[in-house]
Amino acid sequence: MTEETSKQNIDLSIQMASEAYQFLKNTTIKERAAFMNAVADQIEALGDELFTIAHSETSLPLARLTGEKARTVGQWRSYAKAVASGIYTEPRIDLAQPEKQKGDLRKYNIGLGPVVVFGASNFPFAFSTAGGDTASAIGAGCPVIVKAHPAHPKTSQIMADAIVNTVKEFGWPEGIFSHITGTSYEIGTYLTQHQNIQAVAFTGSFNGGKALFDTANRRENPIPVFAEMGSINPVFALKNLIENKAEALAKEYVSSLTLGVGQFCTNPGVFIALKGTSLDRFIAAIKNEIKETIPSNMLHKGIYDNFEKHKTIALQQPDIEIMASAEAEDGKGSAVIIKTNTKNFINNPVLSEEVFGPFGIIVTCENQEEFIQIAQKLKGQLTITVAATQDDVYENAALISLLKDKCGRLLFNGMPTGVEVVYAMQHGGPFPSTTDSRFTSVGPDAVKRFVRPISFQNWPDEFLPEELKNENPLQISRMVDGEIHSGSLKL
């Protein structure tokens, strides 16, 4: 049974976070990076107990958990390196020009303030308590209050302890990090409404993310909610490619669709192709591939129940046909792929809703114009994949131009599952996949979500933040009078 944190204790955590923000605001990027690397060391040192507990709470296999732990450690270290470089402070200096009656202006980015992070269920390490949201917020200079996901409370506590231990080791204020537990929706609302909270990060369902977003915008002082709410991640299989490799593409598609029992936000839930013998070959191949998939336990009963509910709703829609299905096993996620036509897909909004799990829809098109029609109707997506040859790209330039408006990551072949934690990754997309398509929740650029600019005019050098001092004590690159400059200023 997950303990429900009282409002009194939540208020105390937020008050401590507000006080800790004043401390963090005056730390340097080098100091925060050192803290982040120390958290990485703490997590890396966690032993077999972490895996045993995480497996018992999530059913995730040891190999997956081992890889995810390494990813989590890597996130803290790569984000720390990025923070230390000064890239997210974006220092800008325009020196005084008395002859033009122009003063001295210096600008950089500081943390927004206390941030609430909602842990995700499908990544108990990398997207939960000590995940990328927490790492990027602290890197930006923001204290974090984590609302732990109730599906893995013990795992969450272990990861929280690693951060708390680092806070103690550094002698930093206790409010740098707090851990809130509970199952009620009221906790999330209460946290988001609190006047001292300055931003929210969320990964989960559309209903949950949109509710927090609406709550934040009803505040007297609205705040940003960076909600990643999933998508159907369509695959457009163009003519020449599917003719050349229908069977190989089927194997690739089913492997991605069923990876981790389909419990990835980049799961390719829709496959779009022209009717014809090539698509027939593809469908024949997926039937064989699906037969080889073994139903497995999902992350928790709530996810399994939702999968079954939304799968059943989809199967009850008119003008659909089951193309392939794994043998059902009670309590486990069994893969299903259905087929429909373009008109039905466009006109039935149920078919464009995410079914979180191993569920796919094949949409058959009569001609290339129907590709365009689907693209025009698509809601915002995290990813869109174009399965194509180079000739296909030339022949479908208008389609691909449209698809750029609909997603955060556009793939040329391959499948969208497998998100690299690098600078060039964009894990975010137009609404409703996320609430702000300008930002990513994966990769060092995730730090950008939690900073804001402040400009200093005519301040004596001794009172300026380290990032803006004449001597450039942090030795970072800065924009000085419109040019990149890495040294000190000789005034």
**Residues annotated catalytic, as ranges:** 228, 265
Give CA separation, 32 vs 36, 66, 211, 285, in Å.
6, 26, 32, 52
Beta bridge partners of 179: 146
Number of other CB atoms surrounding residue 456 within 10 Å: 16
Kind and range of the H or E run holding 83: helix 62-85
> Cβ distance 385 to 236 under 8 Å?
yes
Angle made by CA atoms 252, 256, 258, in degrees to the nearest 5: 120
Dihedral, 362, 365, 370, 374 alpha carbons, nearest 10? -10
Count of all residues that appear for the chain in the document: 491
Amino acid identity, residue 486? Answer: S
Of 360, 423, 348, 410, the residue nearest 381 (C-alpha): 410
Residues whose CB is less than 8 angstroms from the CB of residue 471 and which lie 6 or more positions away in sequence, other chains included: 488, 489
Long-range pairs for 286-289 at CB < 8 Å and ≥24 separation? 286/250, 286/253, 286/254, 286/323, 286/324, 286/337, 287/323, 287/324, 289/250, 289/251, 289/254, 289/255, 289/324
Tokens of 183: 């199952």
How far does Cα 290 stand from its chain's mean position? 28
